[in-house]
Amino acid sequence: MADAIKLNIDGTDVETQPGTTIIDVATEAGIEIPKLCQHRLLSANGTCRMCLVEVEGARTLLTACTTPVQPGMKVSTRSEQVLRARRSVLEFLLAEHSLDCLVCERSGDCRLQDYAYEYGADGRQIAGKHYERGVEEPGEVEADNPFFVRDMSKCILCGRCVRMCAEVMGYGAVDFASRGAETKVATSFEMPLTESSCVFCGNCVTACPTGALQPKQGARQGRAYEYEKVRTICPYCGVGCSINLHVRDGRIIGSSAVEGPANRGLVCVKGHFGHGWIQDEDRLTRPLVRKDDGELHPTSWDEALDLVAERLRTIKSKHGSDAIGGLASAKCTNEENYLFQRFMRSCVATNNVDHCARLCHASTVAGLATVFGSGAMTNSNWEFESSDVLFITGSNTTETHPVIGAVVERGRRAGAKLIVADPRVTDMAYRADLHLQHHPGSDIALLNAMAHVILAEGLEDKEFIENRTEGFAEVKEKVAEYSPERAAELTGVPAADIIEAARMFARERRGAVLYSMGITQHSKGVDNVKAIANLAMLTGNIGRFATGVNPLRGQNNVQGACDMGCIPSHLPGYQLVSKKELRSKFERAWGSPLRADPGLTMIEMINEAADGGLRALYIMGENPMLADPDITHVKEGLENLDFLVVQDVFLTETAQLADVVLPAASFAEKSGTFTNTERRVQLVRPAVSSPGEAKADWRILCDLAARFGQSWGYEESAEIMSDLSALTPSYGGISYDRLDPVGLQWPCPDADHPGTPILHTETFARGKGLFSPVDHRPPAEVPNGEFPIVLTTGRMLYHFHTGSMTRRAPSLHAHVPTGYVEVNEQDAGHLGIEHGQPVKVISRRGGVVTQAVVTPNIKQGVVFMPFHFAEAAANVLTNTALDPVAKIPELKVCAVRLEPQPWEGARGCCCETSGESDAFEATNEGSD
């Protein structure tokens, strides 16, 4: 490390590293220098001049945000001259500013206003535009998107939004246009944002120091000093962004991004603007019970819970406890998932407990547990900004994990090479140095061929292979069969590109692989995951900073639901139910005997239900009627049950089939913890009370357990955490008082452990990393004459999962109200399908009508549907073919045909389906 530099600021001696700017040292030393254009995530542009300081010996005042420190510098931040200069900076800004603080939403939360007050500037000293209050020039206010208003009469041209959009989000939707007095921030051709590349993350809104960018939510409902900010965790994806909910008079009036370890102050459109559903009038407020008339009727908690207990007990005594199954929820807290599996295992006495991770990352859990000994993401979100090469496969990161997408963009801008393998030209693929557009389902051929090239050219990390792994010889032999030329035939990617990708990945020092459903949701998902692990081990990219095998988990708490043992084979902390000493630890703690045989997985439960083997199902916060493959079959299964209990916040498609519906509290109404994709356990806090009689899931579970003669006695969710951490080694050191404000990353075995940002640093969880030879196999369903096209499904930015939340968030729904199918423009030409035209998509299992989006951005012969839209549910079409190990269904590939429909009469029917459910990772620490 270079020698420290000593300097003096306002009479205080400080020390810092060379290259630091004056503003940064001052901030470290607790001296605040005002700033309008500088922002910690953005490059310095030094335009606002608010940060002027006096440096002894310098001829003029200097901008503290751009001036690097020099040894012996003497800086004064508040001299007469400095204060005068700052005041005149403000006078110039205010002279051109529409000073309508009286009605401005940002009043009270506006840097310009704060500084004007502090420096006594009012803009009257200088001739300028002098806006009449509230009168802007035409074109200065743009309010036609559902998320935020741009009022350019309040823009001070600091350029934070411009840099945020370009440098962090990678979209560059806005930039400076014109010059001189005419300079403004504009989209290209000054079109509305809705027609630009803007994705409405609103990170520019957060960064804007004035009221020029104002969120629409909460407008006229209270200013910053009138509402309370409750810090919690975004309930959508696995990134785990910290957000504030704005609460006034017991209602949520808005939300905003807040600095957290997983997001560093960034969010996406859902986390920023997507919480309107919490107070939707459709929320369930009373328990419902199906009466003799076949309808659901409101009832009391006692009646509903008594009925659930009685029916479950009857079924248990008649058909055995394995005739009952339970689906836990990746949306609920760790505490609730823990209690759910405890209820199923100790009250019902079955291991039939699973959750939607089965649909997303079961392959990861199974695959990585085998080869590494732990099924979780090996590294952490923000490390990717420091990687040298990033290989993203089967993940549309900018849409499904937008904030990680931003981290990747920052890495790319800092010089990291980006390789993307995806059948679609996603935003990520567009930005990539190299885009490999392979056939859906040909991942293994691609990955093996990359390994082949690396070995052929001697680019492997011999030391790592030698010291840290086993099984290398078999893999070497296997990948020898996959020459780039052969792989080119199987994948459709030119051999030269495969070679280039292999070299790019192997030559850099820090290489990270990021992947998601595109890898896991296949009938050979586990093998796909192993092929990725092979590639990472071959190049020694495990256990070091900014490298790793990084499955991006889909739902906010899918990692936690797995960790909590909501999987049929494992108790909390991936402790095998089949292992006696592990089981008896839980038996002692819970005071009841536990079953040793693994239970049924989610898809198996549905199959058993259809066959009559499973008689009752208890579903907490999941909606298999949209999320699961082959919905028609799911419906058959659910309807065939003797008894179905659904506990949720809305009357979802699944709840509509239930015998008893229990109204649950949303994430904004309870305390608990979520574990994000980087294994970080973070606190969720209650902001408002639940509507009507709705109750937190963990309270419902306690009440139900009491009816099975088990009194758990929990008063607070923190008590559940202390019980579960005592039984779960990887959570051993986790307690609520350690979680504020940055959480803890498991494994965290004891109360002094700082948590683990990077896994497998010294040894693998299983000792040595296991190389596993894997072979290419075609997808379970390949196109033929009748179904000539491959359908792949996924998620899109503006909606989440089955849409039960986002489609009730007014802003999100207004922006993207319908589903669609993306069709390659050549294919569309042959089939006579026009952009926007209704088309019927038909597979062996059913058909749905939706709207065509004709685009060059998808490979010929492949179509894509998002899966959030009930009216055009993609999962009517998808295949239930399972991976033999992980039992994950092949949501990513099935064969379909398209039939154009007449334009009239098919209006408003579109839906989106996308096969990205959640991610699921498990570690298998206890496996033998």
Q: Is residue 210 a contact residue for ligand FES (CB under 6 A)? A: no
Q: Which residues in 47-86 contact ligand FES (CB under 6 A)?
A: 47-51, 63, 65
Query: Is 428 a residue that touches ligand SF4 (CB under 6 A)?
Result: no
The set of long-range contacts for 641-646, using a CB threshold of 8 Å and a minimum separation of 24, is 641/609, 641/614, 641/615, 641/616, 641/617, 642/311, 642/315, 642/615, 642/616, 643/311, 643/312, 643/315, 643/615, 643/616, 643/617, 644/616, 644/617, 644/619, 645/308, 645/616, 645/617, 645/618, 645/619, 646/619
381 φ, ψ (degrees, to nearest 5): -40, -55
Give the Cβ contact number of residue 178 at 10 Å. Answer: 10
Q: Which is nearer to ligand FES, 48 or 377 (CB)?
A: 48
Residues 325-354 binding ligand SF4 (CB under 6 A) are none
**Cα distance between residue 550 and residue 467, in whole Å:** 22
What is the rounded distance in angstroms from the CA atom of residue 326 to the CA atom of residue 644?
10
**42: three-class secondary structure by DSSP:** coil
Shortest CB 66 distance to ligand FES, Å? 6
Is there binding between residue 44 and ligand SF4 (CB under 6 A)? no
Which one among 10, 46, 197, 825 touches ligand FES, defined by CB under 6 A?
46
Among ligand FES, another protein, ligand SF4, none, what does residue 924 contact (CB within 5–8 Å per kind)? none
Instruction: Indicate the residue among 42 and 701 with the shorter CB distance to ligand FES.
Output: 42
Asked whether 513 and 541 are in contact (CB, 8 A), the reply is yes
535 binds another protein (CB under 8 A): no
**Number of other CB atoms surrounding residue 318 within 10 Å:** 10
Least Å distance, CB 339 to another protein, is 49
User: Site for ligand SF4 (CB under 6 A): which residue of 33, 149, 164, 657?
Assistant: 164
694 Cβ neighbours under 8 A, 6+ residues apart: 283, 284, 285, 649, 663, 664, 665, 669
Amino acid at 352: N
Out of 44, 61, 89, 165, the only residue in the binding site for ligand SF4 (CB under 6 A) is 165
Which position among 39, 160, 670, 801 is part of the footprint of ligand SF4 (CB under 6 A)? 160
Q: Which residues lie below 8 Å from residue 138, measured CB to CB, with a gap of 6+?
A: none
Judge residue 189's burial from the number of C-beta atoms within 10 Å of its C-beta, 0-12 exposed, 13-18 middle, 19 or more buried. Answer: exposed
353-354/389-393 β-pairing:
unpaired
Within residues 208-247, the interface with ligand SF4 by CB under 6 A covers 208-210, 212-213, 234, 236-237, 239-241
The 3 state secondary structure assigned to 136-202 is CCCCCEECCCCCEEEEHHHCCCCCHHHHHHHHHHCCCCCEEECCHHHCEEECHHHCCHHHCCCCCCC
Task: For residue 425, state whether it binds another protein (rule: CB under 8 A).
Answer: no
Binding mask 110-129 for ligand FES (x = CB under 6 A): --------------------
**Largest separation between any pair of C-alpha atoms in the chain:** 92
Question: Smallest distance from the beta carbon of 128 to another protein, in angstroms?
Answer: 18
Judge contact between 691 and 285, C-beta under 8 A.
Answer: yes
Q: Pick the piece of the chain touching ligand SF4 (CB under 6 A) from 157-165, 214-222, 474-482, 643-651.
A: 157-165
Ordered strands of the 228-233 beta sheet? 228-233, 242-248, 251-257
Q: Would you say 197 or 285 has its CB closer to another protein? A: 197
Closest CA to 850 of 899, 806, 788: 899
Instruction: Tell me if 679 contacts ligand SF4 by CB under 6 A.
Output: no
The answer to whether 861 contacts another protein (rule: CB under 8 A) is: no
Closer to another protein by CB, 196 or 556: give it: 196
Answer with the entry of another protein, ligand FES, ligand SF4, none that 164 interacts with (C-beta below 5 to 8 A by kind).
ligand SF4
Query: What length is written for the chain?
Result: 928
37 contacts ligand FES (rule: CB under 6 A): yes
Taking the complex as a whole, the smallest distance from the CB of residue 421 to another protein amounts, in Å, to 20
Query: What token pair was written down for 211?
Result: 């009221």
We find the least distance from the C-beta atom of residue 795 to ligand SF4, in angstroms, to be: 10
The entry of ligand SF4, another protein, ligand FES, none near residue 189 (CB within 5 to 8 angstroms by kind) is another protein
What's the number of CA atoms in the CB half-sphere (13 Å) around residue 523?
15
Question: According to CB under 8 A, which residues from 158 to 187 bind another protein?
Answer: 166, 171-179, 186-187
Q: Determine contact, residues 569/535, Cβ cutoff 8 Å.
A: no
- Name which of 433 and 587 has its Cβ closer to another protein: 433
* Rounded Cα gap, residues 409 and 203, in angstroms: 14
Nearest C-alpha neighbor of 445 from the set 909, 82, 794, 779? 779
Which of another protein, ligand SF4, ligand FES, none does residue 341 bind to, with CB < 5 to 8 Å depending on kind?
Answer: none
Binds another protein (CB under 8 A): choice among 43, 70, 81, 188: 188
Which residue lies nearer to ligand FES by CB, 48 or 186? Answer: 48
Binding residue count for ligand FES, defined by CB under 6 A: 12
* Residue in 61, 82, 85, 174 binding ligand SF4, rule: CB under 6 A: 174
Residues that bind ligand FES (CB under 6 A): 35-38, 46-51, 63, 65
Residues that bind another protein (CB under 8 A): 166, 171-179, 186-190, 196-197
Residues that bind ligand SF4 (CB under 6 A): 155-161, 164-165, 169, 171, 173-174, 185, 198-204, 207-210, 212-213, 234, 236-237, 239-241, 263, 267-268, 270-271, 402-403
